[in-house]
Amino acid sequence: MTRIVSILLLVLFVCGSAHAHKASDSFLYWDAANQDSPGRLDIALVDLLGVMVLDSNGDNQVTWGELQDQQSGITEYLASRISMTAGEQNCAMDWRMAGLTQHSDGNYLAMEVKPNCPTESVEEQQLQYNLFFTEDPQHRALVMVRKDGNERLTVLSPGQRSLALADNPGLLQTAKTFLWEGMVHLWIGYDHILFLLALMLPAVLKRKKGRWVSVDSMGSAVKEVALVVTAFTLAHSITLVMATLGWVRFDIAWIETIIALSIVAAAINIVWPFLGGRLYLLGFGFGLIHGFGFASVLSDFLVNTGSLAVALASFNIGVELAQLAIVVVFVPAIFLLRRQWIYQRVILPVGITLIACTGMYWVWDRIPLA
């Protein structure tokens, strides 16, 4: 008898090499742009049947209603095996039954999930997947992550259970991002522009003994502006680097106030040069303060990058390019207008007043004394 049983098994071994169907797979889709439910997990119903009682009335078939009635059990099961962390902290996972879907080997239950993480930073999120691995080490999660319109495929297995939901961007991407952020920040941060304008205005028209005296050549105007802008750039680069690398600490509220104050001072200095006529010194001195302001903005983005040096350099270059664009447009314009009546009598006084008043309003608004 033993021999007969053995031989039956033998035949089984030798003849059973036809391949078919597929091994156990779940499908995990992740699209951070979909804020309501960035994640969707499709679980094969047969896999679920192996770990849960789905056929509650025992009629050898599972209806959608029976699955719906198991929603809390399924949700608990998923919560016990799939988790997410953001940095050191755990995120709550809000699972929801979305419906039924099909993959090549049959029906799958589609579950949607919305993680609630303490921080907003997507880049730090790690998903830990431990579904079915104990019951079936051949189980895999086939993952599709959509980011910036691109879809990345990967696989989770017993040897690779965690998924970083956003890659660190490459160096080129970092450089591009921070270059753009630097330019945007200068253009939308009106305080830096106003300060720059206040420094550039006297380059074509100086106040001497109560009268406006215009410069004769474009060359000397450009030279003056170049000196001022370079000094400003050099100064804010120094403090931007120092602050970003954590060598100095500052109170951003006071920095913002002093920046506003610098605008008022530069405007008044055009009419009454109480800080002296050497504009480059003025640019350098206040540039040091403006650098701290840039650093505060930069630190908001730096959480998302691993390449600090590239980010810092690109951000700074972005700021300089944006400055250059303003200089290129502004200096020829004021040079051409410098001798016009309307410029000397209207545009300049009104402009200086507006700059000074805006600066003063910002001082009032920002000063941290309440």
Partner 1 sequence: MPSTIFLASSKGGRGVRPGFYPLILSVLLLPSAGIAAPIGPDVQIPSREEVVLRIDNSLPVIPKAERNSPELSPAILALQVRELIQRSRETGSPRPLGLAEGLLAQVPESEWTPDVYLIRATVLQRLHRFDDAEADLERVLQADPDNHQAWLTRYSIALVRGDIQGAEQACGLLEKVLPGLVAQSCSAELASMGDAPEQAFQDLQLSIQNSRNAHSSERDYALVTLADMASRLDMPVAGKLWAEALLQAPDDLYRRARFADWLLLNDQAKAVLPLTRDYVAVDTLAVLRAVAMTDLQHPQRQTLTEDLQRRFQEASWRGEFLHQWEYARFLLDVQGDARAGFEMAEANWQTQRAYPDRQLLVRAAIAAGKQDDLKRLGVESGAAL
Return the residues of window 147-176 that contact partner 1 according to CB under 8 A. 151, 153, 155
Least distance (Å) between residue 23 CB and partner 1: 5
Q: Determine, following the binding rule CB under 8 A, whether residue 21 of this chain makes contact with partner 1.
A: yes
Of the candidates 57, 58, 172, 210, which one interacts with partner 1 according to CB under 8 A? Answer: 58
Q: Determine, following the binding rule CB under 8 A, whether residue 224 of this chain makes contact with partner 1.
A: no
Which range binds partner 1 by CB under 8 A, 33-41, 211-219, 252-260, 291-299?
A: 33-41
**CA-to-CA separations, 307 to 247, 289, 311, in angstroms, rounded:** 18, 25, 6
Q: How far apart are CA 183 and CA 228, in angstroms?
A: 19
Q: Determine, following the binding rule CB under 8 A, whether residue 369 of this chain makes contact with partner 1.
A: no
Q: Determine, following the binding rule CB under 8 A, whether residue 324 of this chain makes contact with partner 1.
A: no
Which range binds partner 1 by CB under 8 A, 19-27, 204-212, 255-263, 304-312?
A: 19-27
Nearer to partner 1 by Cβ, of 15 and 370: the residue is 15
Work out the number of other CB atoms within 10 angstroms of the CB of residue 344: 16
Q: How many CA atoms lie within 13 A of 36 on its CB side?
A: 4
CB of 133 within 8 A of CB of 155? no
Least distance (Å) between residue 318 CB and partner 1: 26
Q: How far apart are CA 53 and CA 69, in angstroms?
A: 11
Q: Determine, following the binding rule CB under 8 A, whether residue 7 of this chain makes contact with partner 1.
A: yes
Nearer to partner 1 by Cβ, of 41 and 298: the residue is 41
Q: How far apart are CA 151 and CA 29, in angstroms?
A: 10
Which range binds partner 1 by CB under 8 A, 15-23, 168-176, 264-272, 322-330?
A: 15-23
Of the candidates 146, 161, 176, 207, which one interacts with partner 1 according to CB under 8 A? Answer: 146
- Considering only residues 343 through 362, tell me which ones interact with partner 1, judged by CB under 8 A: none
With CA atoms as reference, report the closest residue to 205 among 100, 83, 54, 351: 351
- Considering only residues 253 through 312, tell me which ones interact with partner 1, judged by CB under 8 A: none
Q: Are strands 140-147 and 25-31 parallel, antiparallel or unpaired?
A: parallel
Nearer to partner 1 by Cβ, of 42 and 320: the residue is 42
Q: How far apart are CA 243 and CA 252, in angstroms?
A: 11
Of the candidates 100, 188, 213, 350, which one interacts with partner 1 according to CB under 8 A? Answer: 100
Work out the number of other CB atoms within 10 angstroms of the CB of residue 59: 9
- Considering only residues 103 through 142, tell me which ones interact with partner 1, judged by CB under 8 A: 103-107, 110, 134-140, 142
Identify the three-state secondary structure at position 253.
Answer: helix
Q: Are strands 205-208 and 211-214 parallel, antiparallel or unpaired?
A: antiparallel
Of the chain, the end-to-end C-alpha distance in Å amounts to 96
Q: Determine, following the binding rule CB under 8 A, whether residue 13 of this chain makes contact with partner 1.
A: yes
Q: How far apart are CA 101 and CA 29, in angstroms?
A: 13
Least distance (Å) between residue 245 CB and partner 1: 38
Structure tokens given for 228: 């001022």
Nearer to partner 1 by Cβ, of 65 and 246: the residue is 65
Q: Determine, following the binding rule CB under 8 A, whether residue 1 of this chain makes contact with partner 1.
A: no
Least distance (Å) between residue 163 CB and partner 1: 15
Nearer to partner 1 by Cβ, of 97 and 281: the residue is 97
With CA atoms as reference, report the closest residue to 227 among 256, 261, 202: 202
Structure tokens given for 164: 């970083």
Q: Determine, following the binding rule CB under 8 A, whether residue 43 of this chain makes contact with partner 1.
A: no
Q: How far apart are CA 87 and CA 117, in angstroms?
A: 10
Nearer to partner 1 by Cβ, of 37 and 126: the residue is 37
Nearer to partner 1 by Cβ, of 155 and 303: the residue is 155
- Considering only residues 237 through 256, tell me which ones interact with partner 1, judged by CB under 8 A: none
